[in-house]
Amino acid sequence: MTTQTSTILLIYTGGTIGMIKDSETGSLKNFNFNDLLKHIPELNLLDCTIDTQSFEAPIDSSNMGPVYWQQLVSIIENQYDHFDGFVVLHGSDTMSYTASAVSFMLENLAKPVIFTGSQLPIGDLRTDAKENLITSIQLAALKQDNVSVIKEVGLYFEYKLYRANRTTKINAEHFEAFASLNYPALAQSGVNLSIDYNALLVPENKPLLVHKELEPKILLVKMFPGITQQMVTHLFNVDMFKGLVIETYGTGNLTTQGWFITALKKVVDSGIPVVNVTQCSGGSVVMGLYETSAELKNMGVISGKDITTEAALTKLMYLLAIEDSQKDFKTLFETSLRGEMS
C-alpha cells in the first residue's frame, strides 16, 4: 500500500476541530484553512497532495441538516474526478447523522470519504485533532495497485475507522467518542495502519450517482414506560409527516395496549412507512420473537434489523425521495444498500 501520488480534498464544514483559541479573549474562533500547515506542519510529511475547501459560513453541527448535506455532496460531486479521496471535518455531535446521509446520497462511491473531528480544538495543547486529521488523510490516501483501498464513507476517531452509517456518538467527554457496536472497525491505527479487508465495502463498477433530494418530514418517537394516548394521538397526525421511525425496547418490543396498536395501524394503513429500530446501543430488531412485537410484524411495520437510528432516519429521507422506491418500500428498506445493516 502507498500514499504516493494521492490527492486529497479536505472539506471543512465547521466544528471544534477547525477552531483555535484567541490569545487575547480566550474564546474559540474558526481559523483560515489555507493556513492549515502552519497549525499542523506534520502534514508536510505525508506523501500526498492536500487541497482545502471550506463551507462559506462554517456551522455548528447542531445546526446540520439536509440543506447542508446537499451542499456537501455537491462539493464532492464537483471535485470527484480531481481528487483520489475526501476528508470531511465536522462537529462530532451530529457527525453520524451527516455521514450516514452522505453514504446514501453517494451511490456507487468508489473513493474514500472520511469524516473526522475532535473533542478539543486544534490549537489546544492536549488536542485529539491532529492525530484524527493526520490518520484520516493517510487512510483516504491509501492505495493498492493504484486503486483506493477505502471505497466508502467512513468515520475516523481515536485510532479507529468505522463504516460511517454504523456509528453512534456514545461519549461527550472522552476522546473515544464513537462506537460501532454491530459492525467491526474497518481499520485501526497503531504503530502501523491495520486494515480489515473483509469488512470493507466492494462497490460495483458503476458511475457515481449523486442523490440530492431528501424528504425531511420524518418523525422519530422513542418508546418509554408511561407514554400517553393523548401524546401519541397528537404525534401520529398522518398529515404532518411522511415517514416514522420508532425506537422500541430490546429486540423490537413495545406496548400492546389497544389504543397504541390502533394509532400505529392507522399510520401504516395510510401508506406511511413505519420503521422499527431498537433503542439499545447494540443488537437487532427481531419482530415476532416476543408477543409484544408480533402485532407489528403482522401489520407491516418495517424491521430496521441492526441499523442505527441515525442511519434509519437518513435512509428513510433518502428512499422517500426516490420515486421508484414506492413499489416495494418495505423490501427495499430491509435490504442493505450501503452496508448499513447486516
Confidence class for position 323, pLDDT limits 50, 70, 90: low
Q: How far apart are CA 2 and CA 147, in angstroms?
A: 10
| 342 domain residue, yes or no | no
Cα→Cα distances 157→91, 102, 126, 166, 178, Å: 12, 18, 15, 13, 7
The pLDDT of residue 170: 86
The pLDDT of residue 167: 97
Q: Is the predicted pLDDT of residue 3 greater than 60, yes or no?
A: no
Whether 62 and 184 map to the same domain: the answer is yes
The pLDDT of residue 186: 98
Report the alpha-carbon angle 175-170-336, nearest 5.
120
pTM above 0.85, yes or no: yes
Whether 268 and 122 map to the same domain: the answer is no
- What the block records as the C-alpha cell of 11 is 472539506
| 286 domain residue, yes or no | yes
Whether 83 and 128 map to the same domain: the answer is yes
| 122 domain residue, yes or no | yes
The reply to whether 262 belongs to the active site is no
Q: Which of 210, 229, 264 is the last residue of a domain?
A: 210
Q: Is the predicted pLDDT of residue 290 greater than 90, yes or no?
A: no
In sequence order, which residues have a C-beta less than 8 Å from that of residue 81 and are 6 or more positions away?
A: none
Q: How far apart are CA 98 and CA 104, in angstroms?
A: 10
Q: Domain count for the chain, please give it.
A: 2
Give the closest residue to 119 by CA, choosing from 168, 172, 72.
172
Q: Mean pLDDT across the stretch 200-218?
A: 95
Determine the structural domain holding residue 126 and report its residue range. 6-210
Model confidence pLDDT, tens digit, residues 17-41:
877 776 677 666 666 666 666 778 8
Whether 171 and 307 map to the same domain: the answer is no
Whether 234 and 187 map to the same domain: the answer is no
Q: Is the predicted pLDDT of residue 326 greater than 60, yes or no?
A: no
140 with 101: CB under 8 angstroms? no
Q: Is the predicted pLDDT of residue 139 greater than 60, yes or no?
A: yes
Q: What percent of the chain clears pLDDT 70, i.e. is strictly above it?
A: 92
Whether 46 and 164 map to the same domain: the answer is yes
Q: Is the predicted pLDDT of residue 277 greater than 90, yes or no?
A: yes
Phi then psi for residue 79, to 5 deg, are -105, 5
| 3-class secondary-structure state, position 109 | coil
Neighbours of 170 (CB within 10 A): 14
Q: How far apart are CA 104 and CA 153, in angstroms?
A: 9
From the candidates 13, 16, 278, 308, give the one annotated as an active-site residue: 16
Model confidence pLDDT, tens digit, residues 70-82:
999 999 999 999 9
Q: Which of 189, 210, 231 is the last residue of a domain?
A: 210
